[in-house]
A and B are shown apart, each in its own frame.
Chain A
Amino acid sequence: MSVEALRLDGATARRDARIVWSGVDLSVREGEFVAVLGPNGSGKSTLLHVLLGLLPPAEGTVTVLGGPPGAASSRIGYLPQRRGFESGTRVRGLDLVRLGLDGARWGFPLPAALSPAGRGAERRVAEVIELVGASAYASRPIGDLSGGEQQRLLIAQALVRRPRILLLDEPLDSLDLSNQGAVAALVQRICASEGVTVLLVAHDVNPILPYLDRVVYFAAGGGVAGTPREVITGPTLSSLYGVPVEVLETSDGRLVVVGTPEPPAHHHSRHEHAH
């Protein structure tokens, strides 16, 4: 468990002329479940783009699975933000998972009856769909499924190539609270059983708090990493934001962050946010 999956040293990310965050140090070991937290626009998704090699770091060094970002893209499973499929999308969940396996290959697949490789691919797809518990609805068109069902299939798609790292961008965002917990539990189970390193971008830490190893918290152009109890504290977040911030703990163990300098609109969101 001590092998390093990814590392950032003094990394700076810049989009166009704007510096999103700078001076970020982060080291994640294999098999860890890490939440990426922070207010909107603080650069959570940007971290995933940097790790994928889609956005080169402006300064500092980034190492993913022992190499530069982008070199390991076949060993990274990625689930981008907010992908609701329109209701008219006439492609089965099964096909979507299969595309995650060999969709980038040129040509077109032969019918499985003619190709042993095709049968192997079908077995792997069925196996990973079973792993996320989506077998009952995987052969229905993806556009006909609920948000939670789509999300499980998308996680299956990200997992199908047996990645070493899973980057999930707000997979819980469109789900109700009970589904958020269920999907987080599923991700933790995969983390443990497959030894996959998971970075999960979340808006609200509470539904996933029981499952996490560590968090990375981005705000005000910087980022800090550590265990949830180290990072989500008044002193740590106050020095990150540069203004006094308090962290309250409710009797059932939920964390509520108050006093963050944010546009007022965010305080009207549907549930407590960890920022």
Chain B
Amino acid sequence: MRIELAGLSLDPVRDLEQLTEFSFMAQALEAGAIVAVMAGAIGWFMVLRRQAFAGHTLSVVAFPGAAGATLAGLPLALGYFGACGGAALVLAAVSRPAGAGRAGESAAIGAVQAFGLGLGFLFVTLYSGQLNGLESLLFGTFLGITAAQVQTLLWVAVAALAALALIGRPLLFASVDEGVARAAGVPTGLLGLAFLLLLGLAVAATAQITGALLVFALLVTPAATAQQVTARPGRGLALSVGLALAVTWIGLAIAYFSPYPVGFWVTSLSFGAYVAVRLGRALLARRAEPLGVPA
């Protein structure tokens, strides 16, 4: 299969000018950058806390939120933030008894997720078959972002990152070593709730441009890749943010010159980076292993 790169001149300056020539593209790059930085940072904590399933549930719930807002004639953003914020509170409630059975917790989260999908289906059916709308709810509207949306995203991201910076160190402590953190006076329950709300905020903001199903390309994959590369918290966070930003911008750029959607490129690039890092680590581990000793 030959990928048609319409209009690509291979002259970097001209191609860059082309990329930013239209305001929709400039806004997509801006919104993509904002969302990538926020998702990269919050996603790093999500992967560390092993809350990917909760993150996935929040992103699935973004879909009925948006569909419900469309049906009720409310602003889409309200649907996203309302649904994800509400779901974060529900998840915090079901995961309240700390350490008391992970299995019960993930089952409860799964139940929330299934119900969310069902609601979304209902709302879409009631809205009587707007299939175009459905596709963009699930897979995003990278290229239909307005300047006002970019503004909103920016404020949300600034608030979320400021909150994350404030709780960063105790949150890291509570995430890797909950019992000792609690004994040292860290309010671990409160931090867990605060983090789920931040995660909900990040998911709602990200889902508006990546769609409900591709949130994970920015939330989990760059963070998981970064944690494979380094066990140092500072470097891991920076790498996660950098990777999220890189896959978003490169994905947008490739999509501009190719007939395939942005979401596909962003997910493929982040997946490619993840696979490459895992393979590289496996090879390194193999080389470090003495010959003849099974791993």
A residues with a Cβ closer than 8 A to B are 52, 54, 73-74, 76, 78-80, 83, 85, 89-92, 95-96, 99-100, 102-109, 111, 140-142, 157-158
Judged by a CB distance under 8 angstroms, whether B177 is at the interface is: yes
**Contacting residues, chain B, for A107 (C-beta < 8 A):** 165-166, 168-169
Chain B interface, >50% SS class: helix
A90–B231 contact, CB under 8 A? Answer: yes
B172–A99 contact, CB under 8 A? Answer: yes
Judged by a CB distance under 8 angstroms, whether B179 is at the interface is: yes
Q: Which of A54, A85, A91 contacts B48 (CB 8 A)?
A: A91
In the complex, residue of chain B having the shortest beta-carbon distance to the beta carbon of A102: B169
**Contacting residues, chain B, for A100 (C-beta < 8 A):** 180, 184
Given the contacts A73-B185, A90-B227, A92-B231, A99 and B179 also touching, CB distance less than 8 Å: no
Q: Which of A79, A104, A140 contacts B173 (CB 8 A)?
A: A104
CA distance A141 to B181 in the complex (A): 19
Given the contacts A103-B170, A104-B185, A141-B231, A90 and B179 also touching, CB distance less than 8 Å: no
**Contacting residues, chain B, for A76 (C-beta < 8 A):** 183
B231–A99 contact, CB under 8 A? Answer: no
CA distance A102 to B169 in the complex (A): 8
- B277 CB → nearest A CB, Å: 12
B residues with a Cβ closer than 8 A to A are 48, 165-170, 172-173, 176-177, 179-186, 227-228, 230-234, 236
In the complex, residue of chain B having the shortest beta-carbon distance to the beta carbon of A106: B166
For A78, A90, A142, which residue has the most chain B Cβ atoms within 10 angstroms? A90
B176–A80 contact, CB under 8 A? Answer: no
Given the contacts A73-B185, A104-B185, A91 and B180 also touching, CB distance less than 8 Å: no
- B246 CB → nearest A CB, Å: 21
12 contacts between A and B (CB under 8 A): A52-B183, A78-B180, A83-B179, A91-B231, A95-B233, A99-B172, A99-B176, A99-B181, A103-B173, A104-B185, A108-B169, A141-B231
A80–B232 contact, CB under 8 A? Answer: no
**Contacting residues, chain A, for B231 (C-beta < 8 A):** 90-92, 95, 140-141
In the complex, residue of chain B having the shortest beta-carbon distance to the beta carbon of A91: B176
A157–B176 contact, CB under 8 A? Answer: no
In the complex, residue of chain A having the shortest beta-carbon distance to the beta carbon of B227: A90
In the complex, residue of chain B having the shortest beta-carbon distance to the beta carbon of A82: B179
For B176, B181, B230, which residue has the most chain A Cβ atoms within 10 angstroms? B176
- B171 CB → nearest A CB, Å: 9
A90–B236 contact, CB under 8 A? Answer: yes
- Excluding A54-B183, A78-B184, 14 further A-B contacts by CB distance (< 8 Å) are A78-B183, A80-B180, A90-B227, A90-B228, A95-B231, A102-B169, A103-B169, A103-B172, A103-B181, A106-B167, A106-B170, A107-B168, A108-B165, A109-B169
**Contacting residues, chain B, for A92 (C-beta < 8 A):** 231-232
CA distance A50 to B247 in the complex (A): 51
CA distance A122 to B37 in the complex (A): 29
CA distance A105 to B183 in the complex (A): 13
A73–B183 contact, CB under 8 A? Answer: yes
CA distance A106 to B231 in the complex (A): 22
**Contacting residues, chain B, for A52 (C-beta < 8 A):** 183
**Contacting residues, chain B, for A103 (C-beta < 8 A):** 169-170, 172-173, 177, 181, 184, 186
In the complex, residue of chain B having the shortest beta-carbon distance to the beta carbon of A49: B183
**Contacting residues, chain A, for B170 (C-beta < 8 A):** 103-106
**Contacting residues, chain A, for B169 (C-beta < 8 A):** 99, 102-103, 105-109
**Contacting residues, chain A, for B228 (C-beta < 8 A):** 90
- B51 CB → nearest A CB, Å: 14
In the complex, residue of chain B having the shortest beta-carbon distance to the beta carbon of A143: B231
Q: Which of A80, A95, A108 contacts B183 (CB 8 A)?
A: A80
